[in-house]
Structure 1
Amino acid sequence: MKKQMIKALIVDDERFSREELKHLLSTYHHIQIVGEADSGNSALVKSLQIKPDVVFLDVEMPNMNGIETAKAMKELKAPPLIVFATAYPSFAVDAFAYGAIDYLLKPFEEERMKETISRLEERLLPTKITEEEYAPNKLAVESEDGIIYIDPSTILFLARDERVTKIVGRDFSYETKAALKDFEVRLKEYQFFRIHKSYLVNLNQVKKLTPWFNGAYQLEMNDFRESLSVSRNYVKALREKLEI
């Protein structure tokens, strides 16, 4: 049976705050972080594209602040739940006026976050799930050092190089002799997609797609400096997967 997940978008103009929130949310394995934004305008665009269930939203941001962003999100066809995450307690009244489900103050506290997650569970999940039910499914990878267990959501991409498959994350890289095709089957439910005979990417970690030559494209991943090649045979299907 497919496990229930809550899709979350994090919006804050300060990268450190986004990283802190990502770290706290990563301990809840039924919370899937599907994107980040550093401004209200970017948050609206990403909400349209990825349709998150909940948006963790900062208040003080340039141009369009969090209150204005929440007001605009209420007009979307499928508006997400809003959790304000800010250092300013004075905006709480306005926040709840726009339907916020909770109001977290920085620095974030683990116990306070548990209360927020419980509220989200009550609103978004049919029944409250147990720790056992949302325990993460690990990808087992056989390497020379033994069997390594990896959370699929932390993988950026997999690359086949001669007889070795490399599994690359933001802060790790492992090698295995298992074929890329095997991983394509095993990771199908985790939004992984073949972009080239040698590359399998995590669609949730895609940052940018740039035209190259002869109909091919270059793909940029989050937290990875080098671009990956997208074969022209996969471009159309990739764009259909990534776009609304």
Structure 2
Amino acid sequence: MKVAIIDDEPYSREEMKHLLSEYPWVEIVGEASSAETAMELILTQDPQVLFLDIEMPGMSGVDLAEALQKMKQKPEIVFATAYPDYALKAFRVEAVDYLVKPFDEEQLSQTMDRLKKLLLTDLGEQKDTKKMGKLSVQDEDKIIFIEPGNILYIFREERETYICTEKKKYTCKLPIKELEAKLATHPFFRVHKSYLVQLPYVEELIPWGNGVYQLKVHGVKEKIPVSRNYVKELRERLEL
């Protein structure tokens, strides 16, 4: 999902970028400090979503949203502002949501769920990916090929990616994001920015306090962390 952040306050832009970094399916294609400069960004980068402040020097965020209504393929709008008084105007321009600073992570998570349903199909359908054969991994001094169905989970640590099967742990040069795309036709799920798990091997979801969970995976002693942003969708994918 291509996202642009429009806000005249650099700190607010940095905070939003940090919060959105928790969502691996989000790509931030640009940012702007005014509605006027945002127009050029929108025309050149074609973002699907704008996180848009309202009170900015010159043209306001609501004015920009109204101007965008004339576009054939306009981006979805999420207002992100310090002022709660503009909510009615925001929804008159068909905003998806209205976030008030300081941003609440749970509310943002709900917003992202809404955007995902609006703009993204199932990952396997979205990417025109042919079902892959085997995955090449490094095993000491040679390259071997393993069946994706044999992978329990994948994790990233200190610039190395590890592919874990029931029998052995292998290294791979690809980052997790690329592996997630390659494995899109298999039932893998990103549970943390550093972990990708094959769902049929999940045995338990264990509360770990403050909205954080851990996973018990078949044949693995170590528990796998689950970021709070992924818990809701993970439960939906696991439950009947």
- The alignment's TM-score, normalised by the length of structure 1, stands at 0.51
Q: Which residue of 1 aligns with 2:20?
A: 25
User: What code does the residue aligned with 1:31 have?
Assistant: V
Q: Which residue of 1 aligns with 2:159?
A: 148
Q: CA RMSD in A?
A: 2.9
Give, in whole Å, the separation in 2 of the partners of 1:60 and 1:33. 22
Superposed CA deviations along residues 95-147 of structure 1, whole A, max 9, x for unmatched, are 00001000000000110110000010110012388xxxxxxxxxxxxxxxx97
Superposed CA deviations along residues 8-56 of structure 1, whole A, max 9, x for unmatched, are 0000000000000000000000011010000001111110111000000
Asked if the contact 1:51–1:78 (Cα under 8 Å) also holds between the matched residues in 2, the reply is no
Q: Residues 149, 64 of structure 1: CA spacing in aligned structure 2 closer, same or farther, 3 A cutoff?
A: farther
Q: Which residue of 2 aligns with 1:170?
A: none
Structure 2 runs not aligned, ≥5 long: 125-156, 162-172, 182-240
State the secondary structure of the residue aligned to 2:159.
strand
Matches within 5 A, 1:162-173: none
Give the % identical residues.
47
Q: Residues 38, 31 of structure 1: CA spacing in aligned structure 2 closer, same or farther, 3 A cutoff?
A: same
Q: Work out whether 1:76 is the aligned partner of 2:71.
A: yes
Give, in whole Å, the separation in 1 of the partners of 2:158 and 2:51. 36
Structure 1 runs not aligned, ≥5 long: 1-5, 130-145, 151-177, 179-185, 190-244
Asked if the contact 1:81–1:100 (Cα under 8 Å) also holds between the matched residues in 2, the reply is yes
Aligned pairs, how many? 136
Q: Which residue of 1 aligns with 2:118?
A: 123
Q: Residues 149, 82 of structure 1: CA spacing in aligned structure 2 closer, same or farther, 3 A cutoff?
A: farther
Q: Which residue of 2 aligns with 1:87?
A: 82
Q: Which residue of 96, 103, 108 corresponds with 1:108?
A: 103
Deviation at 1:77, TM superposition (A): 2.8
| Structure 1 ranges of 4+ moved more than 3 A | none
Q: Between Structure 1 and Structure 2, whose CA radius of gyration is higher? A: 2
Q: Residues 148, 99 of structure 1: CA spacing in aligned structure 2 closer, same or farther, 3 A cutoff?
A: same
User: What code does the residue aligned with 1:56 have?
Assistant: F
Q: Work out whether 1:67 is the aligned partner of 2:78.
A: no
- The alignment's TM-score, normalised by the length of structure 2, stands at 0.52
Asked if the contact 1:59–1:65 (Cα under 8 Å) also holds between the matched residues in 2, the reply is yes
